[in-house]
């Protein structure tokens, strides 16, 4: 980051939007959610992101409505600030500096000027204990205010959303572990209620969430074993009571009372939104199959909209507990990207596995999820401990006509289930259609697969741990009714060694398969052409050079070597001892990107196989290993003159770090362009007076002055009169619209006789008043019909007449 100031590593969108409970505004028009270091404002009807409230410097950990102003929200962040925003205009109003990392925020209508935040007990990040403190927000006109007036309310609370204000803000209830604590503000006393761990009969009594009834003294708590307890009479230490509701089979993740308290909403891993009727607890409504596990539920203040956030980075907006009205989907990254990052050649979207059993197509330019493709096509059972089918590999052919996916399911004590699916792009539906399913294509896991780039043949090669590689060909059964389908063409192997990687040359004339230490090179007719080997170390990745460097084959080995073979002489051209964790070739140029891991950091080298000097290198790119990377072609070529930034001209390099952050490289010219395009939107008359403006502004004013007289001349007086006539005449005396229309259109035309005609009309008006408009109109039309040549004569005649 220091070496080249012009190229910066930047975070790309696709951050979590389900981290904390979303907030629906009072008028139900907007939905706010924490998304990484910013707060996003979405329209609840159109699903579009309206504003991106940026200002926090660390993870945003909570959002609440300002109870005293319904157009403002508070947000808190781990950077130790609480910020007040106007979300309709996207303006930061105030920043309150607390000084401790904040993990959640609560407010109550009855505690004006106070926010309740969860901060660590000791002022260091390693602390495991958290406390709830009340912060009095000082009234001051400054943008940045320090709020140091803290008073502890509850100690030892859980850091995330397990507290709730009771009726009229009289008490606050918080849960942690096996303890429910209720703090009464009136007498500043807290009551604690404990449950037994209860291991018998599978009961797990640990609390997971809490919600207080807004109108009555009742606290609902959710538990790990799926039970919901309704606590009453808790202002006594001993005579408290609770009743139990049980429907969920997994833990209750979230609970929420509706604003009137008539219903209780609960959600968990089953992905079913359950609506319990408060007085008749045995009656409940369900909204099933919402997506991933429900993590948060939010209700709009008027109770008309619910929204649920899900574990698969999704927010669902539900209208009156019946209909899903909108879905806001973020990039799903899960625990790991098992499919490599790939680029769909058609939509230029980033493709990776998303929701369980789905592939997601994510537009990098718009930072928006385009669509999810259901690969597994099976009902997803939301249950912990089940082995589900997972999409593990995906590959596109060069034109984007075919997509190959591999899904697998490992099951304890039984065989591995693998399906290879081939999808054809359908022009009509603009999506991929399943063409062929191959069950158990290999006896073991598929390690890698790639399509042949040659335009004549549609071929896929898969390699597997069972020691074979298979070539799949699209066979056209034109003589039968079935149409084209895929079948296995060739099974190859090399001395029963396990293959590790495969790669086609750019023209599809060679296939290289790495079998441990040996690289085998095959022709399209499945002849073993040659073997290359550079022990020690098994081959980890293979990559053919492109364009002018197509005679080179690059390979990385586990023993920290990067080798380059010349395919014409079948000999090693060069090799260098670097620990390359990832090798990527740019599909549009000769460039190669190698990510090297060194002492816990990742370095990047961009080089051409034929040149000894790297084009670009950057040390300490990020901490940890780079997991995946991909070159995405640009929409339009960048014209950058700096030598070390030229490799970013045609395509952009995206990579995923160990912490699943999607990053990219951006150059100065690109940022300038982005800035310009964003400026274009706001540019109005609010241009500041700069030397540039002084130079250009004067010129522009002159131009305006020049154009203005023209504009005035276009404004035809006769037109305005005709319109006036139209507007002021009573409707019942007006002629038919078709008649008026032609007149009206003509009145807008510029005619050479306009000046004279105005005169005529001005004359007419005093004599024939409004009552005889028809005559005027007829006359008007007549005069228009007249030849231009005679118009003046006619004028004279008419003048004489009058």
Nearer to another protein, 374 or 781 (CB): 374
Among 84, 321, 532, 621, binds another protein (CB under 8 A): 532
Among 528, 683, 748, 749, binds another protein (CB under 8 A): 528
Q: Looking at beta carbons only, is 178 or 434 nearer to another protein?
A: 434
Nearer to another protein, 453 or 492 (CB): 492
Compute the least distance from the CB of residue 413 to another protein, in Å. 9
Are 289 and 271 within 8 A, CB to CB? yes
- Where does this chain touch another protein (CB under 8 A) — which range of 1-9, 144-152, 180-188, 530-538? 530-538
What are the strands, taking DSSP E only, across 8-149?
8-11, 23-24, 30-35, 38-43, 49-54, 60-65, 72-77, 81-86, 91-97, 104-106, 114-120, 130-136, 144-146
Q: Is 383 or 635 the residue whose CB approaches another protein more closely?
A: 383
Task: Decide: is 752 part of the binding site for another protein (CB under 8 A).
Answer: no
Nearest distance from residue 289's CB to another protein, in Å? 5
Q: Which is nearer to another protein, 414 or 715 (CB)?
A: 414
Number of residues that bind another protein (CB under 8 A): 35
Least distance between another protein and beta carbon 290 (Å): 6
Q: Please give the residues from 316 up to 345 whose contact with another protein meets the rule CB under 8 A.
A: 324
Q: Two tokens at 282?
A: 């045995």
Residues 288-307 interacting with another protein (rule: CB under 8 A):
288-291
Shortest gap between Cβ of 204 and another protein (angstroms)?
A: 20
**Which of residues 239 and 379 has its CB atom nearest to another protein in the complex?**
379
379 binds another protein (CB under 8 A): yes
* Contact characters 51-90, another protein, x per CB under 8 A: ----------------------------------------
Residue closer to another protein by CB (options 571, 599) is 571
Piece of the chain touching another protein by CB under 8 A; list 194-202, 216-224, 386-394, 460-468: 386-394
Residue 377 near another protein by CB under 8 A: yes
Q: What is the DSSP letter of 731?
A: G
* Neighbouring C-beta atoms of residue 164, cutoff 10 Å: 24
DSSP for 613-676, written as a single string:
S-SEEEEEEEES---EEEEEE-SS------GGGGGGSSEEEEEE-TT--EEEEE-HHHHHHHHH
Is 381 among the residues that bind another protein (CB under 8 A)? yes
C-alpha–C-alpha distance, residues 414 and 410, integer Å? 8
Q: Which is nearer to another protein, 411 or 707 (CB)?
A: 411
CB of 438 to another protein, least distance (A): 11
Q: Which is nearer to another protein, 379 or 685 (CB)?
A: 379
| Nearest distance, CB of residue 530 and another protein, angstroms | 5
Minimum distance from residue 528 beta carbon to another protein (Å): 6
CA 275/CA 553 separation, integer angstroms: 61
- Cα separation of 121 and 125, whole Å? 10
**Which of these, 469, 380, 378, 459, lies nearest to 422 by C-alpha position?**
459
483 scored as a contact of another protein (CB under 8 A): no
529 binds another protein (CB under 8 A): yes
Binding test (CB under 8 A) with another protein, winner from 144, 383, 635, 672: 383
- H-only helix segments in 227-288: none
Query: What minimum distance in Å lies between the beta carbon of 415 and another protein?
Result: 6
Where in 394-413 is the site for another protein (CB under 8 A)? 409
Which residue's structure tokens are 């307890």? 229
CB of 224 to another protein, least distance (A): 20
CB 519 within 8 A of CB 531: yes
Task: Print the binding letters for residues 438-457 with another protein: x by CB under 8 A, - otherwise.
Answer: -x------------------
* Among 610, 615, 476, residue whose Cα is nearest residue 546: 610
Q: Are strands 368-374 and 358-363 parallel, antiparallel or unpaired?
A: antiparallel
Half-sphere exposure of 798 (CA within 13 A, CB side): 20
- Least Å distance between CB 474 and another protein? 16
Q: Which of 122, 155, 386, 741 binds another protein (CB under 8 A)?
A: 386
Cβ contact 757:721 at 8 Å? no
Q: Which is nearer to another protein, 290 or 585 (CB)?
A: 290
Q: C-alpha distances in angstroms, 387 versus 360, 378, 411, 414, 529?
A: 21, 13, 6, 11, 42
What mask, x for binding another protein by CB under 8 A, covers residues 550 to 589?
A: -------------------xxxx-----------------
- Give the contacts of 300 (CB within 8 A, at least 6 positions apart): 24, 25, 26, 28, 306, 307
CB neighbours of residue 244 within 10 Å:
10
Neighbouring residues of 413: CB distance < 8 A, sequence distance ≥ 6: none
DSSP string, 88-124: TTTEEEEEEE-SS---EEE--TTSTTEEEEEEESSSS
Assign 721 to helix, strand or coil: helix
Handedness of CA 15, 21, 22, 23 (dihedral sign): negative
Q: Which of residues 462-481 bind another protein (CB under 8 A)?
A: 477, 479-481
- Residue with Cβ nearer another protein (149 or 443): 443
- Cα–Cα distance, 460 to 452 (Å, whole number): 6
Q: Give backbone dihedrals phi and psi of 713, rounded to 5 degrees, phi first.
A: -70, -35
Q: How far is the CB of 498 from another protein (least distance, A)?
A: 20
Complex with another protein: residue 413 or 691, whichever CB lies closer: 413
Return the residues of window 781-800 that contact another protein according to CB under 8 A. Answer: none
Cα separation of 60 and 177, whole Å?
25
- Exactly one of 414, 686, 715, 752 binds another protein (CB under 8 A); which one? 414
Please compute, for residue 658, the number of CA atoms within 13 A of its CA located in the half-sphere on the CB side: 11
Bond preceding residue 536 cis, omega within 30 of 0: yes
In whole angstroms, the minimum distance from the beta carbon of 668 to another protein comes to 45
Q: Least distance in Å: CB of 374 to another protein?
A: 8
CA distance 612 to 676: 38
We find the least distance from the C-beta atom of residue 747 to another protein, in angstroms, to be 34
> Are the C-beta atoms of 595 and 580 separated by less than 8 Å?
yes
Reported as half-sphere exposure (CB side, CA atoms, 13 A), residue 708 has a value of 6
> From the list 110, 151, 241, 378, which residue makes contact with another protein (rule: CB under 8 A)?
378
Q: Which stretch binds another protein (CB under 8 A): 370-378, 390-398, 460-468, 586-594?
A: 370-378
Which residue's CB is nearer to another protein, number 172 or number 406? Answer: 406
Minimum distance from CB of 378 to another protein (Å)? Answer: 6
Nearest residue to 213 via CA among 167, 174, 180: 167
Name the strands in the sheet holding 150-157, side by side, starting at the edge strand that comes first in the sequence.
104-106, 114-120, 130-136, 150-157
Report if residue 128 touches another protein, rule: CB under 8 A: no
State the nearest-atom distance from the C-beta of 386 to another protein, in Å: 6
* 259-288 footprint of another protein as x/- string (CB under 8 A): ----------------------------xx
Closest to another protein by CB, 47 or 374: 374
Closer to another protein by Cβ: residue 324 or 484: 324
Order of strands, sheet of 580-585, starting from the edge strand that comes earlier in the sequence: 580-585, 592-598, 601-607, 616-623
Binding residues for another protein (CB under 8 A): 287-291, 324, 374, 377-379, 381, 383, 385-388, 409, 414-415, 437, 439, 477, 479-481, 528-533, 569-572
């Amino acid at each position: 980051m220091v070496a080249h100031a012009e190229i910066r590593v930047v975070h790309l969108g696709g951050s979590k939007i389900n981290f904390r409970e979303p907030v629906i505004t009072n008028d139900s028009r907007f939905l706010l959610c924490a998304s990484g270091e910013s707060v996003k404002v979405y329209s609840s009807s159109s699903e579009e992101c309206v504003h991106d409230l940026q200002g926090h410097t660390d993870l945003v950990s909570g959002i609440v409505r300002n109870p005293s102003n319904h157009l403002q929200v508070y947000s808190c962040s781990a950077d130790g600030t609480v910020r007040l925003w106007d979300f309709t205009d996207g303006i930061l109003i105030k920043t309150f500096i607390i000084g401790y990392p904040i993990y959640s925020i609560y407010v109550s209508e009855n505690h004006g000027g106070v926010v309740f935040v969860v901060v660590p007990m000791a002022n260091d990040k390693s602390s495991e204990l958290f406390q709830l403190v009340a912060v009095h927000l000082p009234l001051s006109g400054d943008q940045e205010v320090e709020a140091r007036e803290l008073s502890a309310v509850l100690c030892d609370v859980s850091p995330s959303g397990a507290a709730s204000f009771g009726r009229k803000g009289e008490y606050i209830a918080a849960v942690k572990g096996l303890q429910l604590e209720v703090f009464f503000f009136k007498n500043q006393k807290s009551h604690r209620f404990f449950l037994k761990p209860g291991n018998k009969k599978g009961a797990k009594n640990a609390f997971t969430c809490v919600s207080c009834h807004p109108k009555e003294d009742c606290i609902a708590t959710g538990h790990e074993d799926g039970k919901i307890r309704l606590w009453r009479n808790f202002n006594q230490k001993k005579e408290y009571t609770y009743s139990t509701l049980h429907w969920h089979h997994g833990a209750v993740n979230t609970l929420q009372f509706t604003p009137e308290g008539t219903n209780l909403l609960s959600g968990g891993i089953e992905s079913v939104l359950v609506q319990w009727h408060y007085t008749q607890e045995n009656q409940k409504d369900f909204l099933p199959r919402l997506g991933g596990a429900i993590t948060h539920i939010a209700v709009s203040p008027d109770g008309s909209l619910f929204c649920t956030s899900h574990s698969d980075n999704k927010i669902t907006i539900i209208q009156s507990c019946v209909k899903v009205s909108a879905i806001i989907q973020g990039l799903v990254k899960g625990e790991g990207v098992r499919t490599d990052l790939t680029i769909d050649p058609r939509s230029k979207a980033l493709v990776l596995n998303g929701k369980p059993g789905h592939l997601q197509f994510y537009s990098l330019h718009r930072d928006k999820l385009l669509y999810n493709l259901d690969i597994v096509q099976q009902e997803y059972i939301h249950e912990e401990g089940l082995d589900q089918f997972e999409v593990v590999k995906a590959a596109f052919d060069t034109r984007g006509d075919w997509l190959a996916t591999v899904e697998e399911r490992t099951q304890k004590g039984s065989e591995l289930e693998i399906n290879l699916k081939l999808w054809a792009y359908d022009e009509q539906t603009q999506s991929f259609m399943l063409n062929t399913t191959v069950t158990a294509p290999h006896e073991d896991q598929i390690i890698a697969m790639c399509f042949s780039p040659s335009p004549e043949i549609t071929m896929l090669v898969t390699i597997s741990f069972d020691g074979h590689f298979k070539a799949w060909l699209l066979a056209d059964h034109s003589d039968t009714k079935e149409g084209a389908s895929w079948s296995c063409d060739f099974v190859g192997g090399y001395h029963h060694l396990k293959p590790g990687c495969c790669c086609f040359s750019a023209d599809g004339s060679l296939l290289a398969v790495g079998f441990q230490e040996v690289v085998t090179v095959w022709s399209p007719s499945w002849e073993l052409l040659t073997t290359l080997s550079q022990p020690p170390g098994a081959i980890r990745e293979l990559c053919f050079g492109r364009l002018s460097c197509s005679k080179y084959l690059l390979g990385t080995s586990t023993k920290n070597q990067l080798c380059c073979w010349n395919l014409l002489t079948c000999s090693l051209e060069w090799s260098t001892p670097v620990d390359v964790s990832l090798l990527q070739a740019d599909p549009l140029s000769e460039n190669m990107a190698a990510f090297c891991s060194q002492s816990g950091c990742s370095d990047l080298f961009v080089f051409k196989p034929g040149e000894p000097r790297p084009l670009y290198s950057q040390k300490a790119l990020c901490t940890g290993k780079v997991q995946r990377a991909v070159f995405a072609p640009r929409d339009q070529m960048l014209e950058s003159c700096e030598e070390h930034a030229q490799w970013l001209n045609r395509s952009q390099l995206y990579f995923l770090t160990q912490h699943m952050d999607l990053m990219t490289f951006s150059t100065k010219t690109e940022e300038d362009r982005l800035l310009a395009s964003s400026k274009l939107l706001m540019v109005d008359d609010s241009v500041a007076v700069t030397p540039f403006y002084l130079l250009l502004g004067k010129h522009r004013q002159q131009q305006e002055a020049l154009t203005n007289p023209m504009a005035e001349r276009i404004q035809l007086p006769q037109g305005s009169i005709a319109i006036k006539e139209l507007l002021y005449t009573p409707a019942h005396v007006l002629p038919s619209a078709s008649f008026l229309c032609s007149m009206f259109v003509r009145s807008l035309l510029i005619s050479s006789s306009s000046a004279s005609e105005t005169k005529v009309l001005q004359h007419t008006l005093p004599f024939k008043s409004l009552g005889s408009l028809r005559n005027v109109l007829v006359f008007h039309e007549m005069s228009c019909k007249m030849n231009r040549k005679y118009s003046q004569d006619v004028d004279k005649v008419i003048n004489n007449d009058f």
